[in-house]
Amino acid sequence: MNLLTLPFLDELVAVRRDFHAHPELAFQETRTADIVARELSGYGLEVHRGLAGTGVVGTLRKGGGRRAIGLRADMDALPMPEKNTFPHASRHPGRMHACGHDGHTAMLLGAARYLAENVDSAAFDGTVHFIFQPAEESEGGGEVMVQDGLFRQFPMDAVFGLHNWPGMPVGEMAAMPGPVMAGTCVFEIRLHGRGCHAAMPHQGIDTLVAASHLVLALQTVVARNVPPCEAAVVSVTQIHGGDALNVIPDDAVLRGTVRSFKPEIQALVEAAIHRICAGIESTFGVQLEISFDQRYPATVNSAPETEICRAAAARVLGADQVRKNEAPSMAAEDFSYMLLEKPGCYVWLGNGPGTGGCTLHNPHYDFNDGILPIGVSYWVRLVETALPAP
């Protein structure tokens, strides 16, 4: 590996662990944003606050180059309890940095500091916007930043993102053109029957029996409707109904998620769910209400920007350590909204096996501080590659 020398690495580790100890949820990242803005200002960057409420953008300019790029990190935590016991574990019950956004924020701060402190010798020409985004976890902060005028206030030619990837060895990265993260949609199906005494089921219309058959039937949507060469997921994640042990309830509700990469596959899945629900109604005599809520679109990398990212990663890790054919993930990412507006690329950075082998969104997860220098080095080399000096 060809890593940059970071004299401030200990400080960077400390700020990352401070973020981890003080997690903040979507659109509530006030403390985190205050620290980010203070650090960027201390490096000498132009600092803008207020996009999407708690968003921060720092700008660094060099030379007369007219090209500009954006580098994005997410700042929010998850509403879940942490089960780690190390000193920097969350101090706020029910909140945890279980996805590594604390590390993403720290790495981008490190890149901003390195470039600012070495601006005379750094081999780039143009403008870099360091974008610190709130509310990535299900709340669409990326979309709100775009709606609030991110690209109007900060014109840029391309935008780049990064996510740590547990299970991928330290010292490896992945950069693929095309879809890399799925689009997501949530659904809700409400079942209405006729409640009755549990000892007299013949007097009612059992919503729980119908709901149970519906859960099983939904497992056929992908298996028997989606072409095998395409990708989709239908998962039921909630089922609610009933309050008493001796009462068959009037109503029940199912909720879940659909993941896909293409709008036409999403439409196919929705049509199949409607057909199955119609069959459940006919079979069990229940009435169903179905609703779909489209969330994040698919995250789709543009080919030229992917090549830029591969070249930058190769400078840091070596070309043989940059994965080019990794399978896309069915997880979703609101960086997709930025890629709808600008060309760009979203890469994965190996985080190692993780604490106890755990993955993202696990209560024992912790970002690997050992990859901070890799992330900083990658961002710096990306700036030099995307904005080459004359």
Regions of the chain short of the pLDDT cut 50 = none
CATH of domain 183-294: 3.30.70.360
Cα separation of 77 and 19, whole Å?
A: 9
For the four alpha carbons of 378, 114, 98 and 331, in that order, the dihedral sign comes to negative
- Identify the DSSP state of 95: -
- CB 217 within 8 Å of CB 170: no
Strand runs labelled E in the chain? 46-49, 56-62, 68-74, 126-133, 158-165, 173-174, 178-181, 183-192, 196-197, 232-240, 247-248, 251-260, 287-294, 299-301, 322-323, 344-350
Q: How many other C-beta atoms can be found within 10 angstroms of the C-beta atom of residue 284?
A: 19
Q: How confident is the model at residue 32, as a pLDDT?
A: 98
- Three-state DSSP class for 231? coil
Sign of CA dihedral 143, 148, 152, 153: negative
**Number of other CB atoms surrounding residue 11 within 10 Å:** 15
**Tally: H helices and E strands in the chain:** 11, 16
Pair 104, 369: CB distance under 8 Å: no
**Residue that has been written with the tokens 């006919």 in this structure:** 282
Q: What is the pLDDT of residues 312-368, one digit of tens each?
A: 999 999 999 999 999 999 999 999 999 999 999 999 999 998 666 689 999 999 999
Angle formed at CA 51 by CA 50 and CA 56, multiple of 5 degrees: 70
Give the pLDDT confidence score for residue 355 in this predicted structure.
63
Q: What is the pLDDT of residue 354?
A: 66
Whether 374 contacts 1, CB under 8 Å: yes
> What's the pLDDT tens digit per position in 369-388?
999 999 999 999 999 999 99
pLDDT tens-digit series, residues 51-86: 999 999 999 999 988 999 999 999 999 999 999 999
For 26-44, b/e burial (b = at least 16 CB within 10 A) is bbbbeebbebbbebbeebe
Burial (CB count within 10 angstroms: exposed 0-12, middle 13-18, buried 19+), residue 123 = middle
Count other C-beta atoms under 10 Å from residue 48's C-beta.
17
Q: What is the pTM of this model?
A: 0.92
- How far is C-alpha 244 from the geometric centre of its chain's CA atoms? 39
Torsion of CA 132, 109, 342, 161, to 10 degrees: -100
Q: Find all residues with CB under 8 Å of 157, minimum gap 6, and list them.
A: 67, 68, 69, 342, 343
Q: By CB neighbour count within 10 A (0-12 exposed, 13-18 middle, 19+ buried), where does 169 fall?
A: exposed
Report whether 373 contacts 9 (CB < 8 A): yes
Whether 183-294 and 9-181+299-386 are alike in CATH topology: the answer is no
- CA distances, 362 to each of 155, 173, 212 (Å): 37, 22, 28
CA distances from 109 to 52, 73, 164, 295 (A): 19, 9, 16, 29
Q: What is the pLDDT of residue 356?
A: 61
C-alpha to C-alpha distance for 320 and 161, rounded to whole angstroms: 21
Ranges of each domain in the chain: 9-181+299-386, 183-294
Burial letters for 222-239: b for 16+ Cβ neighbours within 10 Å, e otherwise?
Answer: beebbeeeebbbbebeeb
Tokens standing for 29? 């990242």
Return the CATH superfamily for domain 9-181+299-386: Zn peptidases (3.40.630.10)
